[in-house]
Chain A
Amino acid sequence: MPRRLLRDGRVVDDDWLYLTEAAGNGAAPLILTLSQWQNERDVWIARGGRLGVVLSPAHKVELLVPDLARLDLVGAEFAGPSEGRGYSQARLLREHWKFGGELRATGFVRRDQLILMARSGFNSFELPDSEIDNAAAALSTFSFAYQPSNDAGLPLKLQRRPWDTPASA
Chain B
Amino acid sequence: MDSAMLHATANSLCRANHAFGSLKTRFRGPAQEPPRGCNDIGHKLMLSGNWRTLVHQTYRWSMYRYDVVDKTLVRERVAQFRDQTRRFLAGELTEDEFRHLRLRNGLYIQRHAPMLRVAVPYGLLSSRQLRALGGIARRYDRGYGHFTTRQNIQFNWPKLEEVPDILAELAEVEMHSIQTSGNCIRNTTSDHLAGVSPDELEDPRPWCELIRQWSTFHPEFTYLPRKFKIAVTGAAQDRAASLVHDVGVHIVRGPDGSPGFEILAGGGLGRTPIIGQVVREFLPREHLLSYLEAVLRVYNLEGRRDNIHKARIKILVRSLGIEEFRRRVEAEWENTRAAGPLVTAEEVIRLRGFFDPPAYRSLPDGEPAAGKSTAFRAWYRYNTAAHKVPGYRAVYISLKKPDVAPGDITDSQMELVADLADRYSFGEVRVTHTQNLLLADVEQDKAFELWQTLADAGLATPNIGTLTDMIACPGLDFCSLANARSIDVAKLISDRFDDYDYIYDLGELEIKMSGCMNACGHHHVGHIGILGVDKGGQEWYQITIGGAAGADASLGQVIGPSVPKTDVPETIARLLEVYVERRQPEERFLDTVRRLGIKPFKERVYAASAAA
Measured CB to CB, the residues of A under 8 A from B are 57, 60, 81-85, 87-89, 91-92, 95-96, 110, 112-113, 115-117, 119-120, 141-149, 159, 161-167
Q: Is the CB of B220 within 8 A of A149?
A: yes
Q: Which partner residue on chain A sits nearest B80 by CB separation?
A: A141
Q: Which partner residue on chain A sits nearest B299 by CB separation?
A: A88
Q: Is the CB of A144 within 8 A of B224?
A: no
Assess whether B109 is interfacial by the CB under 8 Å rule: no
Q: Please, how many residues of chain B have a CB less than 8 angstroms from a CB on the other chain?
A: 43
Partner-binding segment picked from B94-102, B584-592, B604-612: B94-102
Q: Is the CB of B216 within 8 A of A85?
A: no
Q: Which of these, A92, A117, A142, contacts B76 with CB under 8 Å? A: A142
Please give, as numbers and ranges, the residues of chain A lying within 8 Å of B77 by CB-CB distance: 142
Q: Is the CB of B300 within 8 A of A87?
A: yes
Assess whether B301 is interfacial by the CB under 8 Å rule: yes
Please give, as numbers and ranges, the residues of chain A lying within 8 Å of B416 by CB-CB distance: none
Tell me the B183-221 residues at the A interface (CB within 8 Å).
183, 210, 213-221
Q: Which of these, A87, A89, A92, A167, contacts B221 with CB under 8 Å? A: A87
Least CB distance from A63 to B in Å reads 13
Please give, as numbers and ranges, the residues of chain A lying within 8 Å of B84 by CB-CB distance: 112
Q: Which of these, A84, A145, A166, contacts B224 with CB under 8 Å? A: A84
Which 4 pairs from chain A and chain B are nearest by CB?
Answer: A84-B223, A119-B219, A146-B213, A87-B220
Q: Which partner residue on chain B sits nearest A121 by CB separation?
A: B219
Known: A117-B219, A147-B214, A166-B342. 18 other contacts (CB 8 A): A60-B301, A81-B96, A82-B223, A82-B305, A83-B305, A84-B300, A88-B300, A91-B297, A112-B101, A115-B219, A119-B219, A142-B73, A144-B72, A145-B219, A146-B218, A162-B346, A163-B343, A164-B341
Least CB distance from B236 to A in Å reads 28
A12 to B375, CA, bound (A): 75
Q: Which partner residue on chain B sits nearest A149 by CB separation?
A: B219
Least CB distance from B81 to A in Å reads 10
Please give, as numbers and ranges, the residues of chain A lying within 8 Å of B1 by CB-CB distance: none
Assess whether B336 is interfacial by the CB under 8 Å rule: yes
Assess whether B32 is interfacial by the CB under 8 Å rule: no
Would you list 29 pairs from A and B whose C-beta atoms are within 8 A, ordered by A residue?
A: A57-B305, A82-B305, A84-B223, A85-B300, A85-B301, A85-B305, A89-B301, A96-B335, A96-B336, A112-B80, A113-B223, A116-B222, A120-B220, A141-B80, A144-B73, A147-B213, A147-B219, A147-B289, A147-B341, A148-B340, A149-B220, A159-B69, A161-B347, A162-B347, A163-B347, A164-B341, A165-B339, A166-B342, A167-B339
A165 to B244, CA, bound (A): 31
Q: Is the CB of A146 within 8 A of B217?
A: yes
Q: Is the CB of A110 within 8 A of B97?
A: yes
A91 to B221, CA, bound (A): 11
Q: Is the CB of B225 within 8 A of A161?
A: no
